[in-house]
Amino acid sequence: MQVCQTNQQVSDLVSTWRLAGKSVAFVPTMGGLHQGHLSLVEQAKQQADNVIVSIFVNPTQFGENEDFEQYPNTLKEDLKQLEALQVAGVFTPDAQQMYPDGFSTNIKAGHLAEGLCGEKRPGYFDGVVQIVHRLFEIISPDIAIFGQKDYQQLLVIKQMVSEYSLPIKILSADIVREADGLAMSTRNQYLSAKERTEAAHLYRILVQLKQDVLSNKTVDSAILNAEQSLAKHFKIDYLSVLDANTLSATTDNTTKIAILCAVFLGSTRLIDNIIFHPKQTT
């Protein structure tokens, strides 16, 4: 496994692979790796000859009073896990590599960034598409893999790739959950023991909301019931039931539904979602 710290190093490494006729899959991360990240790597290994993983905590996607300074730095352990998976390359740039003096960009997130996390975290998705586009420029992968847990982010990145006609195939990987249903997240380690037990209610409530939607309850009444349940355990940031392809209101023509949620447990923000097909009528 080759660890690259500069843009030139990683570009040269990928060029060597290209000359050998190897395809390249890319998994961008901010470190603090857990089984969810590793599942992306496993999927990437099935899709291409060589896999490269980036580890960079991107400052432009953190807002004021967010946890940029506290975000876990577990690089040594992250590298051990990636080496165990026989990853071909890891890119660990610093901010100067990503945003050198004089760097500017006009990359902006599209309309799918409106609402949900885009509303609650202004500027967040602009920061996401800027760093992802930058990494794509440097690495030029054939395939890039993102987790479904950040579902709006996944759609925003797909939109960016389409808008800029980038020759990169974007794939998603299913959410990896703990035994009690909590979606794996680097931020879960912020939870106290009591909060960690309480956090398991989130997925259970979303599963019930899905069942309510499928049982033909109105979306508004189903959401109201779920909000009442969530409020017993969490501070709700948002809870929405939307068309999973457009992030707009569901219609009779909706083929896939997204339940999207963000809540606070103490000071920790948790996000989760369930994507499913509406009940088919005959």
**Catalytic-role residue among 34, 37, 111, 133:** 37
Taking the C-alpha atoms of residue 218 and residue 173, their distance in angstroms, rounded to an integer, is 30
pLDDT at 247 over 70: yes
Mean local confidence (pLDDT), 104-123 = 93
Angle at 158 between CA 188 and CA 118, to 5 degrees: 55
pLDDT at 95 over 70: yes
Residue 280 binned pLDDT confidence (cut-offs 50, 70, 90): low
Q: Is 233 annotated as catalytic?
A: no
- The DSSP annotation for 167-183 comes to --EEEEEPPPB-TTSPB
Cβ partners under 8 Å of residue 100, min gap 6: none
The secondary structure element, H or E, covering residue 156 is helix 151-163
pLDDT at 26 over 80: yes
198-209 pLDDT per residue, tens: 999 999 999 999
What domains does the chain contain, in order, with CATH numbers? Answer: 2-173 (3.40.50.620), 186-272 (3.30.1300.10)
Taking the C-alpha atoms of residue 57 and residue 30, their distance in angstroms, rounded to an integer, is 5
Taking the C-alpha atoms of residue 270 and residue 196, their distance in angstroms, rounded to an integer, is 11
Sheet holding 235-243, edge to edge: 235-243, 257-265, 268-276
Predicted TM-score (pTM) of this structure: 0.93
What local confidence, expressed as pLDDT, does residue 177 receive? 97
- Range in 7-16, 66-75, 160-169, 247-256 with the lowest mean pLDDT: 66-75
pLDDT at 91 over 60: yes
Q: Are 274 and 206 in contact (CB under 8 A)?
A: yes
137-176 pLDDT per residue, tens: 999 999 999 999 999 999 999 999 999 999 999 999 999 9
pLDDT at 103 over 90: no
Burial class (CB in 10 A: 0-12, 13-18, 19+), 13: buried
